[in-house]
């Protein structure tokens, strides 16, 4: 039995990224006769629930998602003597732990490098929660690519928001209505990119004529980048496959076939479509 502590409360949204990940994990669990238990917890005190479900032997293994640097959940579960895996990575520990992540830093480094090669000098980033490691890594990769060409990412060209279509719209409006507006935007989610496209249209601008756009594609079956009004360039990694892989590794750890603290980092594809072009004058 696999356990997950589900943060709840007024400030918590169950977003499509989580649902897609859970679908992959659930598909593997069902086909291998594993059960999945979701235990609700206060978003600010998940550790109490982890202690309870482990002490009561309610589950055989747990996974942790949306990690932050020096994540208290990782530090705790590492001491509880139960098999676990982290979806993503934390930082700042003096111990190793098992995880599955994608190369977020490399993905956004390559996206930014392409945009710089196309002549863009004013890039913007519409990112997820900047307290979470994936968002930190994406910003780090973008900044590293800019620095290699003697460029910088100004603070006013960075937006960190909950990854919804409406937040993508608002962030894009704020970026594109300012003086010295960016000529290219890197966006952490296809869902937010829907809002970016709407904002560009409402401002009377065009993609890629006025603004180039690259977004991260978690490979939702119901939202395909090639079906955008202008086919969208993306960094691409399936979050559903990640869910299945987490379940596979947890099953192996429960049975003793996987031991130790092995990290696994998947490469991310850069798929170039019609939403990027040379920078306008």
Q: Do domains 2-102+238-267 and 104-236 have the same CATH topology?
A: yes
Residue 260 pLDDT: 83
Residue 262 pLDDT: 87
Residue 255, C-beta contacts closer than 8 angstroms, at least 6 positions apart: none
Q: Percent of the chain at pLDDT above 70?
A: 98
Cα first-last separation, the chain: 58
- Using the 8-state DSSP alphabet, how is residue 261 labeled? -
| pLDDT tens-digit readout, 186-219 | 999 999 999 999 999 999 999 999 999 999 999 9
Distances (CA, A) of 261 to 71, 84, 110, 254: 16, 10, 29, 14
Q: Hey, which bits of the chain come out as E strands?
A: 2-8, 36-42, 61-65, 84-87, 99-102, 123-127, 158-160, 184-187, 212-217, 233-236, 263-266, 269-271
Mean pLDDT within 155-173: 96
Say yes or no to pLDDT of 12 above 80. Answer: no
Residue 259 pLDDT: 84
| pLDDT tens-digit readout, 176-190 | 999 999 999 999 999
Mean pLDDT within 225-246: 97
CA nearest to 39, candidates 1, 71, 10: 1
CA nearest to 197, candidates 129, 274, 104: 274
- Structure-model confidence comparison of residues 216 and 14, the more confident one: 216
What confidence tier does 9 reach under pLDDT thresholds 50, 70, 90? low
Distances (CA, A) of 264 to 86, 136, 160, 271, 275: 10, 18, 26, 22, 31
Say yes or no to pLDDT of 281 above 90. Answer: no
In CATH, the architecture of 104-236 is: 3-Layer(aba) Sandwich (3.40)
Range in 2-16, 40-54, 134-148 the model is least confident about: 2-16
Mean pLDDT of the chain: 94
| pLDDT tens-digit readout, 240-250 | 999 999 999 99
Q: What CATH class is the domain 2-102+238-267?
A: alpha beta
CA 281 – CA 278 distance, rounded (Å): 9
Mean pLDDT within 41-54: 90
CA nearest to 227, candidates 164, 162, 275: 275
Residue 13 pLDDT: 64
Domain chopping of the chain, boundaries: 2-102+238-267, 104-236
Question: Structure pTM?
Answer: 0.94
CA 222 – CA 102 distance, rounded (Å): 22
Q: Is 215 helix (H, G, I), strand (E, B) or coil?
A: strand
**Contact call for residues 88 and 65 (beta carbons, < 8 A):** yes
Give the Cα-Cα-Cα angle 157, 163, 168 (nearest 5 degrees): 50
| pLDDT tens-digit readout, 110-122 | 999 999 999 999 9
> What single string gives the DSSP state of each residue in 68-115?
-TT-HHHHHHTTTT--EEEES---S-SS---EEEE-HHHHHHHHHHHH
Residue 170 pLDDT: 98
Say yes or no to pLDDT of 152 above 60. Answer: yes
Give the Cα-Cα-Cα angle 88, 153, 126 (nearest 5 degrees): 50
């Amino acid at each position: 039995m696999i356990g997950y502590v589900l943060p709840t409360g007024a400030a918590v949204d169950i977003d499509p990224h989580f649902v897609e990940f859970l679908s992959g994990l659930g598909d593997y669990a069902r086909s291998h006769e594993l059960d999945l238990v979701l235990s609700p917890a206060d978003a600010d005190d998940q550790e109490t629930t982890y202690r309870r479900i482990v002490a009561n032997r309610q589950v055989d293994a747990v996974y942790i998602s949306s990690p932050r640097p020096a994540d208290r959940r990782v530090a705790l579960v590492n001491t509880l003597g139960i098999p676990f895996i982290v979806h993503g990575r934390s930082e700042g520990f003096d111990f190793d732990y098992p995880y599955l992540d994608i190369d977020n830093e490399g993905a956004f480094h390559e996206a930014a490098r392409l945009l710089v090669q196309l002549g863009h000098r004013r890039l913007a980033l519409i990112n997820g929660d900047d307290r979470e490691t994936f968002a930190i890594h994406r910003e780090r990769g973008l900044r590293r690519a800019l620095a290699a060409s003697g460029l910088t990412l100004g603070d006013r060209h960075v937006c960190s928001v909950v990854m919804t279509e409406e937040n993508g719209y608002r962030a894009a409006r704020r970026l594109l209505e300012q003086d010295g507006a960016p000529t290219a935007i890197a966006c952490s989610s296809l869902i937010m990119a829907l809002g970016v496209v709407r904002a560009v249209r409402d401002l009377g601008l065009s993609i890629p004529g006025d603004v180039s756009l690259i977004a991260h594609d978690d490979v939702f079956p119901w939202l395909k980048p090639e079906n955008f009004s202008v086919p969208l360039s993306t960094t691409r990694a399936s979050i559903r496959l990640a869910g299945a892989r987490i379940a596979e590794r947890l099953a192996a750890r429960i049975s003793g076939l996987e031991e130790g603290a092995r990290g696994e980092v998947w490469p991310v594809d850069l798929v170039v479509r019609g939403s990027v072009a040379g920078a306008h004058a």
